[in-house]
C-alpha cells in the first residue's frame, strides 16, 4: 500500500459521525489543520522529545498546516523552581534562562511560559494554563507530548469539554527503578487517577513502540485508540558534511548522565578494551543527570580517566560533528521509551551496540542493523568485535543506513496526519 497515495484523499474526520469544519482543502485534496502541541521544552533545549516535536512540527508546517507549540521558559530541570520529594519539601529557586516569550522557529509559532513550581515531573505554569483555556477554540487538534504532565491532563480536559480532537504521545511512560520510594508511590497514584483519566479521555493515542501499547493498556488505555508511530529524524541532516579526521577507535555515547543509562557498564569495560585496542577513547555527550561524579570516580579508580571525554551539553551542530568523528555508538541504557539517538547514530553511519531491551529491539536487529547484548559480557564482546573486524563493521553500517530510511520525518508526518484525521487502517502500513 502506498502511504502517499492513500493520504491524498478528501478526509472525513472521526468524532461520532460529525464532520469537522476545519478540513479545508489545499491543492484540491490535502487537508490543512490548526494544531497545538503541548511540550515541556523545545529548541534550543536538547533532548529526544524536544527533537521529535520540533521535527514533526516543522514538517507539518511545510505541508501548509498551522502549528503552535506551548512550552516552558526552560532548558532543563535545573533552571526551574523545584519542590523536593523528601521532607521538609523545601523549594529550590533557580534563575529563569530568559528565553523569548514568543518567537517563530521554522514557521512554528512558539509560546513560552514561566514555571511557578515543579514537584517531581508535575510542573505548575499558571500562564500556560490560562492561555490554553482562553485560546483552545482556535485549534482543531491538541497534541500533547507527555504522559506525566499536568499540561497534558488539563489540555485533555479542555479538549473534551470543547469537543476538540486530543492526541497523546506518551514519551515518558516509564520511570527508573532507582527513584526513591516516594516517587514510585506518586507514580502509582498518578497512574490510577490522572493518568487513567488522560488515557481514557484522549481521542487518539500514539505509541512509539509495540511494547508501549501494552503499557498504555495496562493503565487503562483503549487499544482501539492506539496507533504505533515510531520516532523519526531528518535524514538529510545526518551523514551530511565531510567526515572529520579520525584517529584511534572512538566510542560515542549521547544522552543524560543518569544511572539507568548504563554508562558505568561501558566505563567498566574500558580497561579490557584498552588492553586489546590501546587507541580506544570514549566520548560522553550530554548533561549531568546527577550521576556524572560517580562516572568520573569510577574512571579514576580504573585508571582510564584520560581516555574518557565529557563534553557536557553541546549544540546540534557540534553533536553532528561528534557523530562524524566516532566509529561506534554505545547505548547501554536499561530503560528507554524509544531511543531516538540510535536513529541519529545509524543515519550517521555508526554501528550501534546496545542492550536488548524492548524499545531498542524495535530499531536494532541483531547482526543486521546493530549488535544486541543480554549482559555486560556480551556488550564487551560486541564492542570488541566491531573494533577488530572491519568487514562486520562495514556490513552493519551499510545495513543500518538503509534500514533507518524508513524512519524519515515524511513517513512520520504522513502517519500522524492519518491519526489526526481518524483513519487508523492506513497507519497499519508501518508494520508491513
Domain ranges of the chain: 3-232+408-431, 249-406
pLDDT at residue number 216? 94
Q: How far apart are CA 25 and CA 5, in angstroms?
A: 16
pLDDT at residue number 430? 44
Q: Which of 320, 412, 424, 419 is nearest to 62 (CA)?
A: 412
pLDDT at residue number 336? 81
Q: How far apart are CA 287 and CA 236, in angstroms?
A: 26
**Whole-number Cα distances in Å, 11 to 26, 29, 396, 420:** 12, 8, 41, 10
Please report how the helices 48-62 and 340-347 are oriented relative to each other, as an axis angle in degrees rounded to 10.
Answer: 70
Same fold, 3-232+408-431 and 249-406: yes
Which segments of 281-315 does DSSP mark as H helices, in order? 292-302
pTM for the full predicted model: 0.81
pLDDT at residue number 60? 96
The helix (run of H) or strand (run of E) holding residue 145 is strand 141-145
pLDDT at residue number 425? 40
pLDDT at residue number 247? 54
The CATH superfamily of 249-406 is Glycogen Phosphorylase B; (3.40.50.2000)
pLDDT at residue number 237? 85
Query: Could you list the mean pLDDT of each consecutive 10-residue stretch along the chain, which spans 432 residues?
Result: 33 31 41 91 88 94 96 87 74 82 97 91 93 97 96 98 96 76 88 96 94 92 95 82 61 93 97 96 92 96 97 91 95 86 94 93 92 97 95 95 93 95 50 42
Q: Which three cell numbers stand for residue 368?
A: 543486521
Check: CB of residue 159 under 8 Å from CB of residue 135. Answer: no
Structural fold of domain 3-232+408-431? Rossmann fold (3.40.50)
Amino acid at each position: 500500500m502506498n502511504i502517499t497515495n492513500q493520504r491524498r484523499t478528501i478526509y472525513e474526520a472521526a468524532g461520532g459521525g460529525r464532520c469537522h469544519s476545519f478540513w479545508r482543502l489545499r491543492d484540491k485534496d490535502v487537508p490543512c489543520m490548526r494544531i497545538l502541541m503541548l511540550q515541556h521544552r523545545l529548541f534550543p533545549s536538547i533532548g529526544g522529545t524536544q527533537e521529535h516535536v520540533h521535527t514533526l512540527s516543522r514538517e507539518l508546517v511545510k505541508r501548509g498546516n498551522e502549528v503552535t507549540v506551548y512550552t516552558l521558559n526552560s532548558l532543563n530541570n535545573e533552571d526551574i523552581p523545584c519542590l523536593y520529594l523528601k521532607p521538609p519539601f523545601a523549594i529550590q529557586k533557580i534563575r529563569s534562562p530568559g528565553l523569548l516569550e514568543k518567537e517563530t522557529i521554522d514557521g512554528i509559532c512558539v509560546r513560552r511560559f514561566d514555571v511557578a513550581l515543579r514537584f517531581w515531573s508535575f510542573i505548575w505554569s499558571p500562564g500556560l494554563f490560562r492561555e490554553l483555556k482562553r485560546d483552545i477554540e482556535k485549534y482543531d487538534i491538541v497534541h500533547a507530548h507527555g504522559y506525566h504532565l499536568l499540561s497534558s491532563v488539563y489540555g485533555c480536559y479542555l479538549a473534551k469539554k470543547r469537543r476538540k480532537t486530543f492526541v497523546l504521545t506518551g514519551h515518558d511512560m516509564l520511570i527508573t527503578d532507582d527513584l526513591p520510594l516516594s516517587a514510585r508511590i506518586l507514580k502509582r497514584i498518578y497512574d490510577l487517577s490522572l493518568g487513567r483519566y488522560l488515557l481514557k479521555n484522549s481521542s487518539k493515542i500514539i505509541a512509539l513502540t509495540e511494547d508501549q501499547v501494552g503499557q498504555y493498556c495496562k493503565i487503562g488505555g483503549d487499544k482501539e485508540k492506539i496507533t504505533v508511530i515510531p520516532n523519526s529524524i531528518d535524514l538529510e541532516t545526518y551523514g551530511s558534511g565531510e567526515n572529520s579526521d579520525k584517529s584511534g577507535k572512538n566510542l560515542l555515547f549521547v544522552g543524560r548522565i543518569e544511572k539507568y543509562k548504563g554508562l558505568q557498564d561501558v566505563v567498566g569495560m574500558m580497561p579490557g578494551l584498552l588492553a586489546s585496542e590501546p587507541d580506544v577513547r570514549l566520548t560522553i555527550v550530554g548533561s549531568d543527570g546527577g550521576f556524572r561524579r560517580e562516572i568520573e570516580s569510577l574512571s579514576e579508580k580504573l585508571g582510564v580517566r584520560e581516555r574518557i571525554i565529557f563534553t557536557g551539553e553541546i549544540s546540534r551542530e557540534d553533536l553532528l560533528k561528534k557523530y562524524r568523528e566516532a566509529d561506534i555508538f554505545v547505548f547501554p541504557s536499561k530503560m528507554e521509551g524509544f531511543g531516538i539517538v540510535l536513529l541519529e547514530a545509524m543515519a550517521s553511519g555508526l554501528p550501534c551496540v546496545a542492550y536488548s531491551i524492548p524499545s531498542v529491539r524495535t530499531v536494532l536487529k541483531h547482526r543486521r542493523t546493530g549488535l544486541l547484548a543480554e549482559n555486560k559480557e556480551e556488550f564487551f564482546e560486541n564492542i570488541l568485535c566491531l573494533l577488530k573486524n572491519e568487514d562486520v563493521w562495514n556490513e552493519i553500517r551499510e545495513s543500518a543506513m538503509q534500514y533507518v530510511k524508513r524512519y524519515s520525518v515524511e513517513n512520520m508526518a504522513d502517519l500522524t496526519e492519518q491519526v489526526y484525521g481518524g483513519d487508523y487502517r492506513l497507519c497499519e502500513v508501518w508494520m508491513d
